Structure 1
Amino acid sequence: MRSVKTVELPAWAQTEQAQAVMKALNDEGALQTLYVGGCVRNHLLGVPVSDIDLATVHTPEQAISRLQRAGFGTVPTGIDHGTVTAIAEGLTFEVTSLRRDVSTDGRRAVVAYTDDWVADAQRRDFTINTLLMSQQGQVYDPTGCGLADLEARRVVFVGNPAERIAEDYLRILRFFRFHATYGRGNPDQAGLAACTAGAAGIDTLSRERITQEILKLLALAGAGDTLSVMVKARVAARFYKADLPLDRVIGYFDMQSCNRAVHALARLAVTVAFDHDFIKENFALSNAQILFLKNMASAIEELQVRDRCHIRQSVYAFGNEATAQALLFCFAQGQHETDGDESLLALAKAWRPPAFPLAGADVLASGIKAGPAVGRILAQAEIWWRAADFVPDRAACLAWLQRHVSQQIE
């Protein structure tokens, strides 16, 4: 395999850890282990690299042996798929043996190890993810078109799109996410047609995998345009309602982007019109994520009147982020005059509510016996304090408590 170009080695590949790991996995003068995938793609595009992946001709057992002899820690993170993690002084490197597919059912593949770089590239999803780079900065293009596609900002399936999709139907969603991230212009037509034809296969995927991929997509600046393409391609209908309110959705996405407040989870809520039952049935969210969605919906109700007082009330009850996103949703629906929008949004993001000055001990000290009455009076005090826009201090709250208790005794 010949290199197609030589580039300056990025800083992450010049670290002592990276050099040592590559030395452990490469014999002198041999092409046995190369950087692969996202780290190479992103380096060539000049965008940040978050994960460092390596492809190697060594089997997992051989890779582990070499790494441990060199003093590195190893974790069999995906040993069944040929992946081990090398730990070098706090940095991690995902090392995956070259593979070729033996069989697949659209969710998982049975693989065999190989030393053939081209065969390994043929089982990957997109040509831009097949690019390889040596420790000397030599770039290799095993499909022969990955570099050209990257330079043209084209997201193209490796080989036959239908076959790549049938190997893992999550690749349909990845196709759209990668186009939103790296593509330019219209999506590759052959890939788009294959996604439409294979869309039913999305039904075989777990809710967890779908949710992770959709949230990644929704976090992107171009998510609105991509979602429109997915609707037209009849892909979105596999996990969204048929009556997806695109105009409202895109308006909200644009409002978020204009205010540098993109929030994937809030976008998900808007795409399903805050239908919590639908979300639970079709997406796998944590309890904290579900609570956020409920808080955002409640904040929208709270903000039917939008002034500084109601903003503070919402933040106290539902939190800063839920209130800010609810406010952006209201702005996007044209439910508020534009004057003062920025100051209200800034308040929703930045205001930190004070702690309620009273506790149960204060109620007991006022003469109320332990029991349900303590909680009831404390709740009434908090309602009064909130109605006063959180202004009363502890002394004022204690004075209210004494008056309230005295009235009850009378």
Structure 2
Amino acid sequence: MKITGDWLQAAETQKLFQVFEAEGVQLFFVGGCVRNALIGAAVADLDLCSAATPDEVTRIAGTVGLKVIPTGIEHGTVTVLVQGTPFEITTFRSDVETDGRHATVAFSKDIHEDAARRDFTMNALYADAAGEVIDPLGSGIADALARRLRFVGEPAARIAEDYLRILRYFRFSAWYADPEHGSDPEALAAISEGAEGLGAISRERIGAEMRRLLAAPDPAPALAQMQAAGVLQQVLPGADAKSVAVLVHLEAQSAPEWLTRLVVLGGEDPGSALRLSRAEVKAAEGLTGAMGLTPAEAAYRYGAGVARQAQLALQAVMGQPLPEGLEAQIAAGAEAVFPIRAADLADRFQGPALGQALREREARFIASGFRLSREELL
């Protein structure tokens, strides 16, 4: 079976393959780019692998003047720049020792050993320069085309090697699995058994996986499975997935926002639990605050985008449809401009009294539907 794509036929790609083939070394694309090309999904990350060691990759690239950056040399990865385009090349590996967080690996010459250490069968796929897909395990192509998510080998063993694979399972389920296949009972049983192992994983890594899961077209089924398996409470105590399905339904006419889904998911201190950035925490707090306002006031105070997301979140939590005339209310608030300033009241009020006078008039302005004029407010 063959795959195609602009990224595969690009001059930079073909030049890279030709340079290594001239030295008797074959490169392969691996993982997500092969899987996505196979199933017709967008291709983003371009990862390559080879039997060549990092030193050999560096030497070969250097023979034709290509720049090499040791981006992950301890893991066998270097980045080769071809006319400004970066290509990450990782040496085939086999696991020597794992502890649930990190793996000690050995370089390998065997593509089958490399495939056997990967997480899911649909990710253990390789492609050569012509786009010919190599399936060392013999099940990756069929599973990818069927959108069937399965661990490589025994689920419990794969999870014990790296407990982050629990979250990767749900993330891949949300993005690539066909719900009609249902879930792999053996995988879910192993996940439930190993859920506490996530306590050893850094919150940064957990947060990164949760962001990507929540950004999926419909993360609700995966989140419900996470909750049933005890994983959701492990990574975000107090969270409840039930309202996310309602939110996804309400989002039909708008672009989904992962942060809105997180707010609806709830939980105790998601900022710390998922190591959100300060900007993300501030945005989540603003969204939560806007949920307590009318759509018009929310748009007036926070802007149309926040007001719209806040209303989606509020109605999802309440389990109700969006109100009639919502966009008109948001537009009215977003366009409104409070017509007076502190200087207009400075002759009558000073200090805290001036701030209070401004707030009272602004409240009247909002309550009037933004219709009171400057003269009426003064």
Worse-matched range after superposition: 379-388 or 197-206: 379-388
Aligned-partner residue type, residue 247 of structure 1: K
Q: Structure 2 unaligned segments of length 5 or more: list them.
A: none
Taking a change above 3 Å as real, the CA distance of residues 84 and 400 of structure 1, as seen in their structure-2 partners, is: farther
The 5 Å alignment of 1:64-83 reads 64-83=58-77
* 1:125 alignment partner in structure 2: 119
What is the rounded CA distance, in whole Å, between the counterparts of 1:339 and 1:105 in structure 2?
A: 52
Taking a change above 3 Å as real, the CA distance of residues 8 and 264 of structure 1, as seen in their structure-2 partners, is: closer
Taking a change above 3 Å as real, the CA distance of residues 382 and 372 of structure 1, as seen in their structure-2 partners, is: same
What is the rounded CA distance, in whole Å, between the counterparts of 1:219 and 1:349 in structure 2?
A: 26
Cα deviation for residue 13 of structure 1 reads 0.8
* 2:87 alignment partner in structure 1: 93
Out of 304, 310, 316, which is 2:300 matched to? Answer: 316
User: Structure 1 residue 200 and structure 2 residue 196: aligned?
Assistant: yes
Cα deviation for residue 92 of structure 1 reads 2.6
Residues 59-92 of structure 1: per-residue CA shift (max 9 Å, x gap): 2232233334434333322222122223334433
User: Structure 1 residue 21 and structure 2 residue 16: aligned?
Assistant: yes
Residues 200-224 of structure 1: per-residue CA shift (max 9 Å, x gap): 1111111111111112112223311
CA contact (8 A) 1:42 1:48 kept: yes
The 5 Å alignment of 1:178-327 reads 178-184=172-178, 185-241=181-237, 244-256=239-251, 258-272=252-266, 277-303=268-294, 311-327=295-311
Taking a change above 3 Å as real, the CA distance of residues 338 and 154 of structure 1, as seen in their structure-2 partners, is: closer
User: Structure 1 residue 344 and structure 2 residue 322: aligned?
Assistant: no
Cα deviation for residue 284 of structure 1 reads 0.8
The 5 Å alignment of 1:36-51 reads 36-51=30-45
* 1:84 alignment partner in structure 2: 78
Aligned-partner residue type, residue 230 of structure 2: R
Greater Rg, structure 1 or structure 2? 1
Residues 8-34 of structure 1: per-residue CA shift (max 9 Å, x gap): 532211111111122223336x45211
Cα deviation for residue 246 of structure 1 reads 4.0
Taking a change above 3 Å as real, the CA distance of residues 367 and 239 of structure 1, as seen in their structure-2 partners, is: same
Cα deviation for residue 379 of structure 1 reads 5.8
CA contact (8 A) 2:214 2:261 kept: yes
* 2:167 alignment partner in structure 1: 173
What is the rounded CA distance, in whole Å, between the counterparts of 1:95 and 1:64 in structure 2?
A: 10
Cα deviation for residue 36 of structure 1 reads 0.6
Q: Secondary structure at the match of 2:230?
A: coil
* 2:313 alignment partner in structure 1: 329
Cα deviation for residue 97 of structure 1 reads 1.4
Worse-matched range after superposition: 13-22 or 144-153: 144-153
Taking a change above 3 Å as real, the CA distance of residues 383 and 54 of structure 1, as seen in their structure-2 partners, is: same
Moved over 6 A (4+): 357-360, 366-378
* 1:308 alignment partner in structure 2: none
Taking a change above 3 Å as real, the CA distance of residues 363 and 90 of structure 1, as seen in their structure-2 partners, is: farther
Worse-matched range after superposition: 170-179 or 327-336: 327-336
Cα deviation for residue 380 of structure 1 reads 6.2
Query: Size of the alignment, in residue pairs?
Result: 376
Out of 157, 160, 165, which is 2:154 matched to? Answer: 160
Cα deviation for residue 337 of structure 1 reads 7.1
| C-alpha RMSD of matched pairs (Å) | 3.0
What is the rounded CA distance, in whole Å, between the counterparts of 1:384 and 1:323 in structure 2?
A: 20
What is the rounded CA distance, in whole Å, between the counterparts of 2:333 and 2:32 in structure 1?
A: 39
Residues 137-185 of structure 1: per-residue CA shift (max 9 Å, x gap): 2211111211122122211111222221112111011111112222122
Residues 348-387 of structure 1: per-residue CA shift (max 9 Å, x gap): 4897446666667x569x7799977876776666556555
The 5 Å alignment of 1:348-387 reads 348=330, 352-353=334-335, 362=343, 386=366
Aligned-partner residue type, residue 190 of structure 2: A
What is the rounded CA distance, in whole Å, between the counterparts of 1:50 and 1:205 in structure 2?
A: 26
TM-score by length of 1: 0.81
What is the rounded CA distance, in whole Å, between the counterparts of 1:285 and 1:84 in structure 2?
A: 29
CA contact (8 A) 2:50 2:92 kept: yes
Aligned-partner residue type, residue 19 of structure 1: Q
TM-score by length of 2: 0.87
* 1:9 alignment partner in structure 2: 4
Taking a change above 3 Å as real, the CA distance of residues 104 and 247 of structure 1, as seen in their structure-2 partners, is: closer
What is the rounded CA distance, in whole Å, between the counterparts of 1:215 and 1:349 in structure 2?
A: 30
Cα deviation for residue 302 of structure 1 reads 0.8
CA contact (8 A) 2:300 2:333 kept: no
CA contact (8 A) 1:381 1:400 kept: no
Q: Secondary structure at the match of 2:291?
A: helix
Identical-pair percentage: 36
What is the rounded CA distance, in whole Å, between the counterparts of 2:289 and 2:107 in structure 1?
A: 53
Q: Structure 1 unaligned segments of length 5 or more: list them.
A: 304-310, 404-410
